[in-house]
Amino acid sequence: MVLTVTKPTVGGSEDSWGTTINTALDDIVLEINSNADGTNAITPNLTEGSWEISTTPVTASAAELNILDGATVTTDEVNILDGDTSATSTTVVDADRVVFNDDGTMKQVAMSDLKTYINASVGSGSVTEVAMTVPTGLTVSGSPITTSGTLAVTFTSGYSIPTTSSQSNWNTAYGWGDHSTQGYLTSAPAPTSSQVGSAMAGLSTGAVGTFAFAMISASTASTSVSVPNGTTTSSLFYTDRSASNSASYKTSGTWKCMGYATNEDRGTVWMRIA
Amino acid sequence: MVAITEIRNARSMNAENTHFDLEINHPDYGWIPYALTPWDTDNTINNTELLALIGSDYVAFSQSDEDARQADFSRYQRNQRLENEVDPIVTNPLRWADLTTEKQNEWTQYRTDLLNVPQQAGFPNTINWPTKPE
C-alpha cells in the first residue's frame, strides 16, 4: 500500500496560494513508500519487556524467539510435551519413534533400536546348568539339567502328603491340648493271678482256653494216638472214664492234648486252643 | 476274634451239613484240625464265616461212615464196661470166691450181655445197655 499525505496550507485563500507547511512529511512519506517493496525496510529496535502484545509485555529475547524459527510443530504436539495425559491406542511397529534423550541430546529413536537394546541387555543371557534341591522327604531326579530334560520330584520312602481327612483328624487331636496330661497308658501291666483266675472262671465249658476231660473219636483212635501238644483230627467227646455217657457230648473247635490217649484208653485231658 | 481266611479238607459230619470236620490255617498255629459245630458258643473264631469259606467245597456226609464211627464208639463203651466193671470182679479170684452162686450167675450173664451188644437189633445207634449187678 502507498501512503499519501495531504500537507496543510497556511495563509491561502480562495484566490491566492498560501504557504504549505511540514514539507518534511514528504520525506517521511517517501521513506515509507520506498519500503513498499522491502528494499529499504524500517528495522524496529525492540527492547525485551518494552514491547507488548495486547498489553502483555513480551520478555523473550530474540534468540529465544528464534528457536521457533523453522518450527512446524502443532499446538497439539506441543501440548503432548507439556504433560498431556490422554493416550491413543497404537500398534507399535519397528518404524515408530519415541523422543529420546541421548546423553543430553534429544533425538527421535526408532522402536527397532529400543528392541535391539532390550534384547541385548535382558533377554539374551545364557544358562549352562539348572539344578533343583528339595527338602527332606522329597527326592528329585534329573537334576541338574545341562541341555534338556525334566526335573521330577517324588516322595522319599516313608514320606507322604497327608490327606485333608488325616489333617482334619490331627487338628481335632491337636485341639485336645497336651496329650501328655491326659493319662494315656504307655504300658499295660501284667494281669494279676486273681484277674486271670476270674477270667478263667468266667469261661463257659468248651470255650477257648478251657480244659476238659474228653475222649478222642473212633476215627482218630483207629489211626493214631494222642500225645501231649497233639491236636485232634476230629471231634472229642466229653466223657467219664468209662465213656458211659459220651456219645451226645461232642466238642467244637480245636483241642490240644494235655495228656495221653490211645485206642484202648481214649480219655485224657485236653485244652481248647481254637 | 481270630480271622480265618483259608480252610481245606472239609468233611460234612451230619445230614444237615451244619457240622464239619476241616482244617483251618490259624494265624498262630498254622494248619490245624477244627470241628465246626452248630452248638459251639465260643466266638473266638466266627463259624458263620467259616461256613461261608467252606461253601460247597466239602466231602458229603456219609451215613455208612457215621454208622461205622458209632459202632466203633459203642464197642469202645462196651469194652470200657467190661474193663472197668466186669474184669475187677471176675478176674479177681478172692472177690469172685466171695460171691454167691446167684451173684456169680448175674455177673456172668452181665458179661455175656455186654459181649452181645453188637448183636442187638438197634446197634450201633440204639443200644439197650444191660444192667450191672448190684
The whole-angstrom separation of Cα B42 and Cα A206 is 7
Determine phi and psi for B49, rounding to 5 degrees.
-70, -35
**pTM summary value:** 0.52
- Interface contacts A/B by beta carbons within 8 Å: 95
**Who wins on pLDDT, A2 or A269?**
A269
Chain B's closest residue to A203, CA to CA, is: B42
The whole-angstrom separation of Cα A198 and Cα A209 is 13
What percentage of chain A has pLDDT greater than the value 70? 88
Q: How far is CA A145 from the centre of its chain?
A: 23
Chain A CB contacts of B34 under 8 Å are: 253-254, 274
Q: A196 vs chain B: nearest CA distance in angstroms?
A: 18
Q: B32 vs chain A: nearest CA distance in angstroms?
A: 7
Are residues B19 and B12 in contact, defined by beta-carbon separation less than 8 angstroms? yes
B33 interfacial to chain A (CB closer than 8 Å): yes
The whole-angstrom separation of Cα B108 and Cα B106 is 5
Q: B43 vs chain A: nearest CA distance in angstroms?
A: 8
pLDDT band at A52 (very low <50, low <70, confident <90, very high): confident
Say whether B81 and A252 touch across the interface (CB within 8 A): no
Determine phi and psi for B20, rounding to 5 degrees.
-130, 140
User: A196-243: per-residue pLDDT in tens?
Assistant: 999 999 999 899 999 999 888 766 655 556 778 888 767 788 887 666
Say whether B76 and A266 touch across the interface (CB within 8 A): yes
Least trusted range by pLDDT, from A90-99, A216-225, B93-102: A216-225
pLDDT reading at A36 higher than 70:
no
Q: Which of B9, B19, B73 to mutate to test the interface with A (most CBs of A within 10 A)?
A: B73
pLDDT band at A248 (very low <50, low <70, confident <90, very high): low
Q: Can you tell me the mean pLDDT for B116-134?
A: 93
Position A10 scores a pLDDT of 78
Say whether A253 and B33 touch across the interface (CB within 8 A): no
The whole-angstrom separation of Cα A215 and Cα A226 is 10
**What number is the ipTM of this complex?**
0.82
Q: A271 vs chain B: nearest CA distance in angstroms?
A: 13
Say whether B13 and A235 touch across the interface (CB within 8 A): yes
Q: Which of B43, B67, B80, B127 to mutate to test the interface with A (most CBs of A within 10 A)?
A: B80
Q: Enumerate the β-bridge partners of residue A110.
A: A97
Say whether A234 and B21 touch across the interface (CB within 8 A): yes
**Who wins on pLDDT, A25 or A272?**
A272
Residue whose C-alpha is closest to residue B124's, from B66, B90, B74? B74
Grid coordinates given for A130: 539348572
Chain A CB contacts of B79 under 8 Å are: 264
Average pLDDT of every residue of chain A:
84
Q: A232 vs chain B: nearest CA distance in angstroms?
A: 6
Burial class (CB in 10 A: 0-12, 13-18, 19+), B125: exposed
Query: Where do the structural domains in chain B lie, given as residue ranges?
Result: 7-54, 63-119
Q: Can you tell me the mean pLDDT for A32-60?
A: 77
User: A120-168: per-residue pLDDT in tens?
Assistant: 877 566 788 999 999 999 999 999 999 999 999 999 999 999 999 999 9
Least trusted range by pLDDT, from A16-25, A191-200, B29-38, B95-104: A16-25
